[in-house]
């Protein structure tokens, strides 16, 4: 019996169109746009100015606070300007524009392919190196990794859980990474185990990636303490709390950090970035991105430099199809619809998905028929229909009493609703408002 | 048989009446009779524009307060406040009547759409995730959160322009739409003598060229109006101009010099030289000697 | 590059494809076996009653939505048609057309539209129609034609006693009565309303609904289980007055009500725990009315009462929270 999380979940069609496609390296673009706010927390502060010459790996911006991350140049060339650029949020945010010249890398970076297994650094030194490299959560959440590796005192991680689940339909970047860089990932896991002083690690992989499970299980024989756990296919198995529930049978309490359940969760891509940062002195400057869609000529997994405008990725897969309605950064359940193709790839861009017009248009919605299908599928055990109703009527009291702040915004409710109600749209609004009310209540106490 | 029924029911009725009368006398709440009198004089809309919970709350506050300073029924305005002052024998300062102003004129014809928004059609939702369907992320979204919250049917989305429009006859300046607008476009400004007022109809904080590309009616922050204004009523901050309505003398010189037509004048008689609002280039500044608003007959 | 601009919206960007019409038509398909059986045993009468009920319900919904509520009529979602079909299955096959029309008006007008349309009603519309008719026209609503093979009669059909009326006589007086054998009850050869006679057809419908994930097992099993246990206890205590529980399960509108009426989305609770409580409530009330009340059939009133209790159940039975108690 495969393990899985115990409450809710849906089974969207997989559409893994780019499965099995080997990672191909995308050419360096002519200009990159590197936003200063690619992570959760304070945006980074620029340390370069217009006209500065940079190489691959040069520090562009320093972390702007405790919860923040460094940003490095992914190309070599000259800084053209530091200006506002439209990013995935739809709003203009400050970004560093670099005109590319050649492909020179910083000398400290080890560019060879040889596996470096040993590490003599202490836990503190490992975390410091991760912080320096600007590693953030690559599953899409972009939480600064060094902050996660430094939990508040009193919390100890018993297990390091690696998220190899990739439950979003269409995306295959993590799958390919596990197939091609399996050993590097396992070394990365040992580094994390050392950093958190734990003896046990579990890599959770959904059962639709049999080859990855087999491959990593073979490799993990030479890595003591690391276990590969196949998990039942169900969305959102890759959600942090759901993953902990599946692997450890423990449910994180409402409002608490996952570390309180004794687990540290990291995405497979993040683990690979950790390996590169600690063993190869390479900061986070590139990532694997799945470019896919039903009408796309050549769905692929590309290795892309951070800051590449997505027009280049779209050309590489055969251009934008005629019937494209939406371009989504990420997966179809939790990704953001991009406003134009001028948006750059950032640290959290796990995929670019092109949906056809037919798939993009939403149905008109009707009143709630109280079928309770949304209640059945909500992985956090909430009543989405009630929460949307509370938000529509600005009844923040009722929203708070029904735990609207526990929502992980996975979208299962909206996916399921037969009346096509935009449940998550309203719940997101209500969640923000209620969390603001709670915050102001705490600060005035 | 019927007689017995009549007597019994009559007796029960009389007994209940006596009990109710006694209870109403014993448990009577003594209230200052002036509160009821004041409440009579109020419009009874219970809109909360005064800042108190309903008309009864406002009546209470008026009676209890030492002076009527700072207490204003926005719906009733000066006539109601004068009446209240009469009832209570207090003095009242007549405050300037205000009206809601929508500071955006990025209509469908001048602000081209760059995306189709498919999410829930509510301004608060659209604004939290995107800047709207056009290149200007500050402008009116047109989904009508302000319309939904107005109790006086005073604001509507114009279906041609896509922008919210205030009906100044019905607007009571209660402030509900100001709170509802997530882009903070609506402002309560002085209604002005003869309902005449001038305001900058743009809140776009992007640099001039960027703003203009998104909307040809945008304020580009060029500063011509600031220089022109003799009463120091105009300030430019964050690439957008703002007219202080307490200082504005309604001379309309700024309207003349604005190159994009972002500054609007309302309820003025037409000038000798007709100005186009869907502008392209500068109009000839100060070419007509029209001075301050003469008390014109045409209205 | 794109002359047609990109679409934007908040996530999620895909939908599972479920719709209200899919669910409504799914239930209609599940009712087909019962309809075919009723056509066989009640012939012309069944056809006329069903057709009229559906047509009147659809008509009233369209007219009320368009001219009284002034909103877009949504007949395509199939819920008016479903209400019509369920109302018909609760009626005897010799009911005159004008009474059916009144029933449809009560069902759609009072039971559904007066509350605000689909999703806002408190009571099951078909049930509202049936109870309205039962109380207004008790004579016509409680004379059922005797089942024959493809009879071509309608209002003039020959009528006879039903299982429930026999069971009521036995419960009141203790005299032994003639009850049909299980075979007749399973295959529909007994008197009753259109849709309630054939247990096998209804159970086939139940299996279809479960397979298509339109309903879950909780409500029907809770109702049937409670009735079985309660009537079983009474039968063991006093077999002279009370029949064995199998008769109860197979007779009257119990199966039809448990599978199709009580499971209506709008009027049943939203959590599994709530559904079980709801089902048990219906079972208890039905049994009380059947055994101790004056009506032979208690199902409609039981469901109707529990529909009213559903909002209260929803307040107290919240879903099981992640990480909560």
Geometric angle at alpha carbon A139, from A138 and A141, rounded to 5°: 85
Contact criterion met (CB < 8 Å) for B120 and C10: yes
Using the Cβ of A294 and the Cβ atoms of chain C, whether some distance falls under 8 Å is answered with no
Residue C258 CA to residue C280 CA, distance in Å, equals 11
Give SS3 for A303. Answer: strand
Task: Please report, for chain C, how many H helices and E strands are present, in that order.
Answer: 13, 3
> Is the predicted pLDDT of residue B286 greater than 60, yes or no?
no
Of A210-219, B44-53, C96-105, C307-316, the poorest mean pLDDT is in: B44-53
pLDDT at position A96: 94
CATH of the domain at B62: 1.10.15
Choice between B45 and B120, residue whose per-residue pLDDT is larger: B120
Q: Are strands B234-237 and B240-243 parallel, antiparallel or unpaired?
A: antiparallel
Q: Which of B114, B125, B137 sits opposite A425 (nearest CB)?
A: B125
pLDDT at position C2: 46
Q: Token pair 């690439």 is at which residue?
A: B239
Residue C287 burial (CB count, 10 A): 25
Residue B219 vs residues B190, B239, B266, B268, C49: alpha-carbon distances, Å: 21, 8, 18, 21, 70
Give the domain extent around B126. Answer: 98-187
- Tokens in use for A394? 């600005």
Domain membership flag for residue B238 = yes
Instruction: Tell me: do B177 and B199 sit in the same domain.
Output: no
Which ipTM did the prediction report?
0.91
Chain A: which residues have CB within 8 Å of chain B?
84, 89-92, 336, 339-340, 360-362, 422, 425-426, 428-429, 432
Of A337-351, B126-140, C98-112, the poorest mean pLDDT is in: B126-140
**Best of A257, A366, A407 to mutate (most C CBs within 10 Å, chain C):** A366
Domain membership flag for residue A438 = yes
B59-75 mean pLDDT: 77
Q: Token pair 């689940």 is at which residue?
A: A165
Domain membership flag for residue B299 = yes
The total number of structural domains that make up chain A: 2
| Last residue within a domain, chosen from A258, A280, A302 | A280
A185-211 mean pLDDT: 94
Of B255-259, C173-177, C201-205, C267-271, the poorest mean pLDDT is in: C173-177
Using the Cβ of C294 and the Cβ atoms of chain B, whether some distance falls under 8 Å is answered with no
pLDDT at position B284: 43
Q: Is C150 exposed, middle or buried (0-12, 13-18, 19+ CB in 10 A)?
A: exposed
Running DSSP on this structure, what letter comes out for residue A134?
A: T
Give SS3 for A306. Answer: coil
Upstream peptide bond of A236 is cis (omega within 30 degrees of 0): yes
Residue A31 CA to residue B87 CA, distance in Å, equals 74
* Chain A residues with beta carbon closer than 8 angstroms to that of C6: 324-327, 337-340
| Phi-psi group of A321: left, alpha or beta (phi > 0 → left; psi -120 to 50 → alpha; rest → beta) | beta
> Is the predicted pLDDT of residue B278 greater than 70, yes or no?
no
Contact criterion met (CB < 8 Å) for B125 and C10: yes
Residues 77-136 of C with CB under 8 A from A: 77, 116-120
Domain membership flag for residue B247 = yes
Instruction: Tell me: do B201 and B295 sit in the same domain.
Output: yes
Residue A216 CA to residue A183 CA, distance in Å, equals 8
The total number of structural domains that make up chain B: 3
Domain membership flag for residue B296 = yes
Give SS3 for B192. Answer: coil
C-alpha count within 13 angstroms, C-beta hemisphere, residue A435: 11
Q: Mind listing the pLDDT tens digit for each residue in A305-333? A: 999 999 999 999 998 998 999 999 999 99
Nearest residue to A95 via CA among A306, A260, A256, A261: A306
> In sequence order, what are the beta bridge partners of B243?
B234
C44 φ/ψ angles, rounded to the nearest 5 degrees:
-60, -40
| Last residue within a domain, chosen from A228, A251, A280 | A280
Chains in touch with C (≥3 Cβ pairs < 8 A)? A, B
Give the domain extent around A412. Answer: 373-444
By residue count, chain C amounts to 325
> In sequence order, what are the beta bridge partners of A34?
A96
C65-90 mean pLDDT: 91
Q: Which of B120, B128, B206 sits opposite A422 (nearest CB)?
A: B120
Residue C198 CA to residue C186 CA, distance in Å, equals 6
Residue C62 vs residues C65, C267, C314: alpha-carbon distances, Å: 5, 22, 31
pLDDT at position B289: 43
Residue A328 CA to residue B252 CA, distance in Å, equals 48
Running DSSP on this structure, what letter comes out for residue A110?
A: -
A271-287 mean pLDDT: 95
A193 φ/ψ angles, rounded to the nearest 5 degrees:
-60, -40
Of A7-21, A48-62, C180-194, the poorest mean pLDDT is in: C180-194
Upstream peptide bond of C12 is cis (omega within 30 degrees of 0): yes
pLDDT at position B275: 53
| Last residue within a domain, chosen from A245, A280, A315 | A280
* Chain C residues with beta carbon closer than 8 angstroms to that of A337: 6-11, 13
Domain membership flag for residue B22 = no
Domain membership flag for residue A92 = no
> Is the predicted pLDDT of residue B287 greater than 80, yes or no?
no
Residue C16 CA to residue A376 CA, distance in Å, equals 14
Give SS3 for C163. Answer: helix
Residues with Cβ within 8 Å of residue A387, at least 6 apart in sequence: A399, A402, A404, A407, A423, A426, A427, A430
A112-139 mean pLDDT: 92
Residue A19 vs residues A14, A177, A301, B24, C273: alpha-carbon distances, Å: 10, 11, 9, 81, 41
Residues with Cβ within 8 Å of residue C33, at least 6 apart in sequence: C198, C200, C201, C202, C204, C205
* Chain B residues with beta carbon closer than 8 angstroms to that of A358: none
pLDDT at position B280: 45
Instruction: Tell me: do B267 and B196 sit in the same domain.
Output: yes
Instruction: Tell me: do A272 and A145 sit in the same domain.
Output: yes
Domain membership flag for residue B26 = no
CATH of the domain at B181: 3.30.70.20
Domain membership flag for residue B16 = no
> Is the predicted pLDDT of residue B85 greater than 70, yes or no?
yes
Q: Is A411 exposed, middle or buried (0-12, 13-18, 19+ CB in 10 A)?
A: buried
Choice between A31 and B62, residue whose per-residue pLDDT is larger: A31
CB C309 within 8 Å of CB C277? no
- Tokens in use for A352? 């670019």
B27-52 mean pLDDT: 81
Give SS3 for B113. Answer: strand
CATH of the domain at A247: 3.40.50.11540
Running DSSP on this structure, what letter comes out for residue A361?
A: S
pLDDT band (50, 70, 90) for residue A101: very high
């Amino acid at each position: 019996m495969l393990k899985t999380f115990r409450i809710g979940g849906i089974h969207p069609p997989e559409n893994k169109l780019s499965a099995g496609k080997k990672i191909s390296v995308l050419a360096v673009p002519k200009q990159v746009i590197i936003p200063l706010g690619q992570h959760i927390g304070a945006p980074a502060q620029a340390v370069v100015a217009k006209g500065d010459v940079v190489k691959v790996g040069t520090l562009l911006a320093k972390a702007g606070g405790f919860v923040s991350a460094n940003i490095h140049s992914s190309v070599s060339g000259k800084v053209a300007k530091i200006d506002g650029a439209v990013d995935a949020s739809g709003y203009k945010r400050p970004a560093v524009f670099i005109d590319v010249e050649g492909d020179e890398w910083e000398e400290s970076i080890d560019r060879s392919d040889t596996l470096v297994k040993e590490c003599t650094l202490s836990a503190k030194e490992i975390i410091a190196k991760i912080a320096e490299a600007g590693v953030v959560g690559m599953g899409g959440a972009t939480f600064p990794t060094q902050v996660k590796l430094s939990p508040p005192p009193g919390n100890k991680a018993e297990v390091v859980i690696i998220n190899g689940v990739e439950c979003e339909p269409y995306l295959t970047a993590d799958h390919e990474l596990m197939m091609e860089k399996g050993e590097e990932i396992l070394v990365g896991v040992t580094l994390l185990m050392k950093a958190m002083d734990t003896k046990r690690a579990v890599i959770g992989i959904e059962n639709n990636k049999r080859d990855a499970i087999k491959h990593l299980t073979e490799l993990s024989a030479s890595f003591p303490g690391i276990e590969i756990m196949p998990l039942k296919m169900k969305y959102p198995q890759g959600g942090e709390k759901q993953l902990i529930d599946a692997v450890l049978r423990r449910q994180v309490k409402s409002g608490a950090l996952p570390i309180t359940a004794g687990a540290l969760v990291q995405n497979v891509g993040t683990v690979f970035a950790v390996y590169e940062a600690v063993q190869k002195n390479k900061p986070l400057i590139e990532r694997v991105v799945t470019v896919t869609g039903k009408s796309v000529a050549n769905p692929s997994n590309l290795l892309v430099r951070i800051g590449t405008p997505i027009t280049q990725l779209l050309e590489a897969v055969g251009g934008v199809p005629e019937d494209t309605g939406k371009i989504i950064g990420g997966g179809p359940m939790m990704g953001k619809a991009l406003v134009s193709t001028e948006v750059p790839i950032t640290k959290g861009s796990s995929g670019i998905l092109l949906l056809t017009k037919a798939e993009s248009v939403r149905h008109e919605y009707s009143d709630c028929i109280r079928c309770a299908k949304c209640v059945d599928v909500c992985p956090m055990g909430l009543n989405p229909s009630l929460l949307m109703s509370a938000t529509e009527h600005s009844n923040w009291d009722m929203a708070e009493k029904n735990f609207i702040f526990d929502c992980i915004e996975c979208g299962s409710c909206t996916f399921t609703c037969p009346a096509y109600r935009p449940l998550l749209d309203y719940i997101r609004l209500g969640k923000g408002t209620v969390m603001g009310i709670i915050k102001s209540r705490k600060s005035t106490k | 048989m019927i007689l017995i029924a009549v007597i019994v029911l009559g007796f029960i009725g009389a007994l209940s009446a006596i009990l109710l009368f006694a209870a109403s006398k014993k448990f009577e709440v003594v209230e200052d009779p002036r509160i009821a009198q004041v409440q009579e004089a109020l419009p009874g809309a219970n809109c909360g524009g005064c800042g108190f919970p309903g008309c009864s709350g406002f009546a209470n506050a008026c009676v209890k307060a030492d002076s009527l300073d700072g207490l204003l029924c926005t719906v009733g305005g000066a006539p109601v406040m004068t009446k209240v002052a009469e009832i209570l024998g207090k003095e009242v300062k007549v405050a300037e009547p205000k009206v809601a102003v929508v500071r955006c004129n990025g209509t469908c014809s001048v602000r081209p759409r760059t995306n189709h928004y498919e999410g829930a059609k509510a301004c608060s939702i659209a604004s939290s995730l995107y800047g709207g369907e056009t290149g200007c992320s500050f402008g009116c979204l047109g989904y009508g959160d302000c319309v939904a919250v107005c109790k006086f049917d005073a604001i509507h989305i114009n279906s041609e322009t896509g922008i919210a429009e205030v009906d100044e006859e019905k607007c009571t300046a209660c402030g509900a739409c100001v709170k509802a607008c997530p882009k903070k476009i609506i402002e309560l400004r002085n209604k002005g003598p003869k309902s005449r007022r001038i305001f900058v109809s743009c809140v776009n904080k992007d640099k001039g060229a960027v703003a203009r590309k998104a909307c040809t009616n945008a304020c580009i922050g060029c500063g011509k109006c600031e220089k022109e204004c003799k009463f120091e009523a105009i300030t430019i901050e964050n690439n957008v101009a703002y007219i202080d309505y307490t200082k504005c003398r309604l001379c309309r010189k700024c309207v003349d010099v604005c190159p994009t037509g972002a500054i609007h004048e309302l309820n003025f008689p037409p000038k000798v030289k007709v100005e186009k609002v869907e502008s392209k280039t500068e109009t000839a500044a100060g070419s007509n000697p029209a001075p301050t608003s003469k008390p014109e007959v045409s209205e | 590059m794109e002359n047609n601009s990109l679409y934007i919206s908040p996530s999620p960007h895909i939908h599972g494809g479920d719709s209200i019409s899919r669910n409504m038509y799914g239930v209609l398909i599940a009712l087909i076996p019962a309809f075919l059986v009723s056509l066989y045993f009640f012939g012309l009468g069944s056809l006329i009653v069903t057709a009229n009920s559906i047509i009147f319900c659809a008509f009233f919904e369209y007219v009320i939505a368009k001219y009284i509520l002034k909103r877009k009529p949504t007949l395509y979602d199939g819920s008016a048609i479903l209400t019509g079909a369920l109302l018909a299955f609760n009626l005897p096959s010799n009911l005159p057309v004008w009474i059916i029309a009144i029933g449809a008006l009560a069902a759609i007008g009072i039971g559904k539209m007066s509350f605000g349309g689909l999703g806002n009603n408190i009571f099951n519309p078909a049930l509202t129609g049936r109870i309205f008719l039962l109380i207004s026209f008790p004579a016509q609503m409680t004379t059922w034609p005797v089942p024959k093979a493809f009879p071509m009669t309608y209002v003039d059909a020959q009528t006879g006693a039903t299982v429930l009326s026999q069971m009521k006589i036995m419960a009141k007086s203790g005299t032994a009565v003639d009850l049909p054998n299980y075979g007749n009850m399973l295959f529909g050869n007994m008197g009753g309303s259109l849709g309630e006679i054939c247990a096998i057809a209804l159970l086939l419908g139940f299996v279809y609904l479960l397979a298509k994930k339109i309903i879950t097992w909780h409500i029907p099993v809770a109702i049937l289980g409670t009735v079985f246990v309660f009537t079983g206890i009474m039968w063991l205590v006093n077999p002279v007055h009370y029949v064995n529980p199998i008769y109860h399960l197979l007779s009257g509108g119990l199966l039809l009500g448990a599978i199709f009426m009580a499971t209506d989305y709008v009027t049943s609770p939203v959590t599994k725990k709530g559904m079980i409580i709801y089902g048990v409530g219906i079972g208890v009330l039905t049994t009380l009315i059947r055994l101790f009340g004056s009506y032979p059939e208690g199902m409609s009133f039981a469901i109707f009462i529990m529909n009213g209790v559903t909002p209260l159940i929803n307040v107290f039975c919240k879903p099981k929270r992640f990480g909560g108690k």
